[in-house]
Structure 1
Amino acid sequence: MQEFISIPTIESGIYMFGGHLHTVNGGWSFFEQSHQVIEVMVVTSGYQLTEIQGMDPIKLGPGDAILISPGTKHTNRNASLNDSMTYMCLHFDFEDVQLRSQIVRLVANKPINSESTIAQISRQMLEEIVHLSSEKKHRNDFEVHVEIEISLLRYLKQLSICMKKMNNWSKQPFSDNEATIGRNIAMTIEDLVNNDDQDISFTFQDVCNQLHISEGYGYRVFKKVYGMTPLHFIDREKYRKAQRLLKYSGNTIEIISQILGAANVSIFSKQFKKWSGITPSAFRKQNQHERHVSSKNQTGYFE
Structure 2
Amino acid sequence: MAKFVPLPSVESSLRLFGGHMRTVAGGWSFFEQKHQAFELMCVIEGHQTTQIGNLKPVVYGPGDALIISPGTLHINFNTSSTEPMTYICFHFNIESLELKSEIISSIANTKIDSTNELAQTAVKTAKEMVTCSADKRLNAEELNLRVQIILLNFLYFLTHNFTRLNFKSNPKYSEREAKVARSVATIIENSVEDNPDHILNISQICHSLNISSGYGHRVFKKVYGITPLHFVEEQKYRKAKLLLGSPEYSIEEISYMTGSNSLSNFSKQFKKWSGLTPSKYQQQVLHKRKVTAINKSGYFE
Instruction: Indicate how the Cα distance of structure 1 residues 86 and 227 shifts in structure 2: closer, same or farther if over 3 A, else same.
Output: same
Instruction: Indicate how the Cα distance of structure 1 residues 237 and 139 shifts in structure 2: closer, same or farther if over 3 A, else same.
Output: farther
Q: Quote the residue 2:261 is aligned against.
A: none
Superposition pairs of residues 48-67 of structure 1, within 5 angstroms: 48-67=48-67
Q: Quote the residue 1:145 is aligned against.
A: 144
Larger RCO (CA within 8 A; separation ≥ 6): 1
What is the distance in 2 between the residues matched to 1:29 and 1:240? 36
Counterpart of 1:230 (choices 219, 228, 231) is 228
Instruction: Indicate how the Cα distance of structure 1 residues 188 and 207 shifts in structure 2: closer, same or farther if over 3 A, else same.
Output: farther
Is 2:130 the partner of 1:130?
yes
Contact 1:27–1:80 (CA under 8 A) maintained in structure 2: yes
Instruction: Indicate how the Cα distance of structure 1 residues 38 and 60 shifts in structure 2: closer, same or farther if over 3 A, else same.
Output: same
Amino acid at match of 1:41: M
Q: Quote the residue 2:243 is aligned against.
A: none
Amino acid at match of 1:103: I
What is the distance in 1 between the residues matched to 2:236 and 2:28? 32
Contact 1:132–1:139 (CA under 8 A) maintained in structure 2: no
Q: Quote the residue 1:162 is aligned against.
A: 161
TM-score, normalised via structure 1 length: 0.67
What is the distance in 2 between the residues matched to 1:104 and 1:198? 31
Q: Quote the residue 2:37 is aligned against.
A: 37
Describe the SS at the equivalent of 2:134: coil
Describe the SS at the equivalent of 1:133: helix
Amino acid at match of 1:23: T
Describe the SS at the equivalent of 1:88: strand
Q: Deviations over 1:177-225 (max 9, x none)?
A: 6575243244268679xx7x788xx76326557x676534643653465
Identity of aligned residues (%): 39
Q: Quote the residue 1:73 is aligned against.
A: 73
Contact 2:184–2:205 (CA under 8 A) maintained in structure 1: no
Describe the SS at the equivalent of 2:39: strand
Q: Quote the residue 1:187 is aligned against.
A: 189
Instruction: Indicate how the Cα distance of structure 1 residues 189 and 82 shifts in structure 2: closer, same or farther if over 3 A, else same.
Output: farther
Count of aligned positions? 250
Shift of 1:68: 0.4
Contact 2:189–2:235 (CA under 8 A) maintained in structure 1: no
Amino acid at match of 1:181: S
What is the distance in 2 between the residues matched to 1:61 and 1:111? 10
Describe the SS at the equivalent of 1:32: strand
**What stretches of structure 2 of length at least 5 have no aligned partner?**
240-250, 252-263, 277-301
Describe the SS at the equivalent of 2:8: coil
Contact 1:50–1:77 (CA under 8 A) maintained in structure 2: yes
**What stretches of structure 1 of length at least 5 have no aligned partner?**
242-248, 250-254, 261-271, 285-303
Shift of 1:15: 1.3
Instruction: Indicate how the Cα distance of structure 1 residues 137 and 4 shifts in structure 2: closer, same or farther if over 3 A, else same.
Output: closer
Shift of 1:226: 2.4
Contact 1:18–1:90 (CA under 8 A) maintained in structure 2: yes
